[in-house]
Amino acid sequence: MEKLFRNAAVIAAGAIVTAILAPVLAKGLTPTPAPGFAPDDACVGNSRLLFVAVEQYLQDNDETLPPTDTISHFQTAVSPYLANKSAFICPATHLAYQPNPAIGGHSLAEFNTPRTVAVFQDTASHANHKSTVTFLDGHVEQGGVTADSNPDIACGSQIRQLSLAMLEYVQDNDLQYPLLDTASHAQAALMPYAKDSSLFTCPSTGAPYKFNSNLSYVNYTSIAHPGAVVVVQDSVTHSDGVTTIGYADGHVTPAPTPTSPGDADAKNMRRLGLGLLQYTQDYDEKLPPLTSEPTIETLVLPYVVDPTVFTNPNTGEYYVYNSALSGVFYGNIASPAQTWLAKDRSVNPDGSFNTLMADAHVLTRYSSIPTHISVGADNDTRLLWGRGDGQAVLSFLSPTGDEQWRGYLGAGLGTARGIVTAPSGMSTLLFSSPSSATVLGINARGNVVQKSQFGPYAGWQAKGVAVGGNGLPRLLWSRYDKSWAIWQMSAAGDYTSDVRFGPFTGISDAVIAAGADNALTVGWKQPGDDVALWRLSSSAVYQSALSLRVNHTRQLVATTVDPNNVTWLLWAGTTGTTTLDAYNSQNTLVNHLDLGVDAGWTARDLGVGADGNLRILWTSATGSGRLRVLTPAGSVFSTHDFAAF
């Protein structure tokens, strides 16, 4: 077992940036140990959740650490900030984490090297003789080695710390920036504030960060819009295309965690709302004219700087403004929190619709939009509806596509990832949230008869689900480092085993399906939208591969396997066309269908019934769905449209 609480007593003058991780991370699903990912990965996930709670405690207590003299005192102090109390317990040892008794009650400013100061750790070693330790800078080690984490998030954390360290330097030096012509000069100036030299190197690329040399010796007060001036950024783009940037006001882009389309839109609206309020303060408390988008942009742009704030980032449309508030004295608005100021023109891709209120807060409502389909042995289609807030609805459709009934599945499920139906009529539905997954079992009558929750597993995300003739679901998982895993599930919805693949450089996503013989097909999406089609045995052992080169002409959307074990691939073309390809078990192309263009519609999912007929789901920009039933020859059997609700 590693040495306990290394350098825990090191105390010196200094500071540490807190609240880097979003508080919502502390509200994850209850960790569920499972071989392969947990208990070791689940322990890391628990440790990260618990550290976020410690950070929230610090924010509310003048940057003072909670009591750590006993486990009980530590848990009592931190418990209000932790939604899932199971995060106090290591899933591997089933023992509570032990806090570092040397740091309780101390201020963060006392610790000169937070990266070496332990906050809490395993009380006992895991079965592999390793222990998990969480440190004051938020990083987690397992067996003395830094546990796997998402380098994009770590990079965002480091640049945020450097941006705030720069602000501290400026405050202490007559509001003047240091010499920033080289990385070494920047580091020499900031080290008393940043403390750890490792902060100056990107954990994703290994390259040193680049500082804005044009700010050398500039006075901070001369910067008109600090939120638009870059201070530090990646010198090399991450492998996934991310470039992290820190600004003069301390904020960082892109956000450390990805946002949904609705969240991105709401963030835009909030910036617009604050700009409108700033305008109002400068013009006798009167709102600007709200009858013309170009006029609004001209008047408010000096306050928001970024012209993209005036349009929805998802649709590119201008927001709709409440013309009744044009030139109105702000004090005459009886209830700003209940009076709308601007709103979306149309629904976002995740079904959200945002409204900006006169007090600059944003209201979000969600519509259910169709996301996935599957077809049972009875030839009925199951249509899964998802919402951006994690709610879900399931519709049962007749063999011709008529809706027979619709049932609500619950809230807080996460992002819908797929639905598959076994020969018995049991459907398995997969939902994912960061590092976690929820799996529902729905019987042929539409009743939820199983619910399994997995995670959090640090760095992993559930991507797809498949089921074969034996009715046992398989889950496809991806990891931030491009590793993949396929889980085998039991009939009761429990994890039984997994097979791992990779890491595969260049793989951006994947789809999975299973045949009646339980063999698996995985379509790996590659650069240029090319696809590597893998055949795996029923135990997920590699059998063969087929390279499909499309050279940016179309994208693989979904795959399914028909009763004859023929694999169908659904493609969305860059020109709006939809095509289908069918391959037999020897990877020979046996069918190709060109379905043309459905203007305004995008192919979303694919299913096939015992009757051999194909079901294709399309969605529109407004959240509507279209289900088309086709014969294997491509003849249209029926078409049904469904409105978002």
Report the pLDDT value the prediction gives residue 149, as an integer from 0 to 100: 55
Is the confidence at residue 127, as pLDDT, over 90?
A: no
Phi, psi of 339 (to 5 degrees): -115, 125
What's at 505, amino acid-wise? Answer: T
Q: What is the pLDDT of residue 17?
A: 26
Q: CA dist 315 to 262, 276, 302, 553, Å?
A: 11, 22, 24, 23
Tally of CA atoms within 13 A in the half-sphere of 134 that contains its CB: 25
Sign, CA dihedral 74-79-81-85, equals positive
Range from 225-229, 392-396, 556-560 carrying the lowest mean pLDDT: 225-229
pLDDT surpassing 60 at residue 160: yes
pLDDT digits (tens, 9 = 90+) for 301-340: 999 888 889 999 888 889 999 999 999 999 999 999 999 9
Strands (E), 234-380: 245-247, 252-253, 320-321, 340-343, 352-357, 362-366, 369-375
Bridge partners of 442, per DSSP, are 427, 448
pLDDT, average across residues 404-412: 87
Name the nearest CA neighbour of 421 among 372, 371, 467.
467
pLDDT of residue 13: 23
pTM value? 0.61
- Rounded to an integer, the average pLDDT of 488-493 is 91
pLDDT at residue number 20: 23
The number of C-alpha atoms within 13 Å of 101 and in the hemisphere containing its C-beta is: 5
Q: Which residue has the tokens 């997920």?
A: 540
The pLDDT value recorded for residue 517 is 95
pLDDT recorded at residue 145: 64
Q: What is the rounded distance in angstroms from the CA atom of residue 449 to the CA atom of residue 394?
A: 14
Token pair for 565: 């074990």
* Spacing of C-alpha 119 from chain mean position: 27
Is residue 24 over pLDDT 70?
no
Q: Which segment of 105-109, 171-175, 385-389 scores lowest on mean pLDDT? A: 385-389
Mean of pLDDT values over 83-108: 90
Helix 183-194 vs helix 151-172: angle between axes, to the nearest 10 degrees?
80
Which pLDDT belongs to residue 254? Answer: 62
pLDDT one-digit tens code per residue, 531-555: 999 999 999 999 999 999 887 788 8
Share of the chain above pLDDT 70, in %: 91
Is the pLDDT at 66 greater than 90? The verdict is: yes
Amino acid present at 252: V
**What is the CA angle 309-313-318, rounded to 5?**
65
Q: Please report which confidence band the pLDDT of residue 194 belongs to, taking 50, 70 and 90 as the band edges.
A: confident
Tens digits of residue pLDDT in 595-616: 998 888 889 999 999 999 999 9
User: Is the pLDDT reported for residue 43 higher than 90?
Assistant: no
Strands of 140-142's sheet in order across: 98-99, 118-121, 132-135, 140-142, 145-146
Mean pLDDT of the chain: 85
pLDDT for 32 beyond 50: no
pLDDT band at 225 (very low <50, low <70, confident <90, very high): confident
Mean pLDDT of the region 483-503 = 90
Residue 209 has pLDDT above 90, yes or no: yes
On the 0-12 / 13-18 / 19+ scale of CB atoms within 10 A, 386 is: buried
Residue 154 has pLDDT above 90, yes or no: no
pLDDT digits (tens, 9 = 90+) for 500-537: 988 887 788 899 999 999 999 999 988 777 899 999 99
Tell me the C-alpha distance between 123 and 133, whole Å.
10
Looking at domain 369-642, its CATH class is mainly beta
Question: Do 316 and 353 meet the contact criterion of CB atoms below 8 Å apart?
Answer: no
Rounded Cα distance, 327 and 398, in Å: 55
- Lowest-pLDDT range, 193-202, 251-260, 392-401, 541-550? 251-260
Half-sphere exposure at residue 176, Cβ-oriented, CA atoms within 13 angstroms: 6
Predicted pLDDT of residue 39: 66
pLDDT score for 260: 74
pLDDT at 189 (0 to 100): 94
394: closest CA among 408, 380, 411? 408
Domain boundaries, the chain: 23-146, 151-253, 261-366, 369-642
pLDDT at 259: 60
Q: Would the pLDDT of 16 be above 50? A: no
Question: For the segment 231-281, what is each residue's pLDDT rounded down to a tens digit?
Answer: 999 887 776 567 889 999 888 876 444 467 888 899 899 999 999 999 999
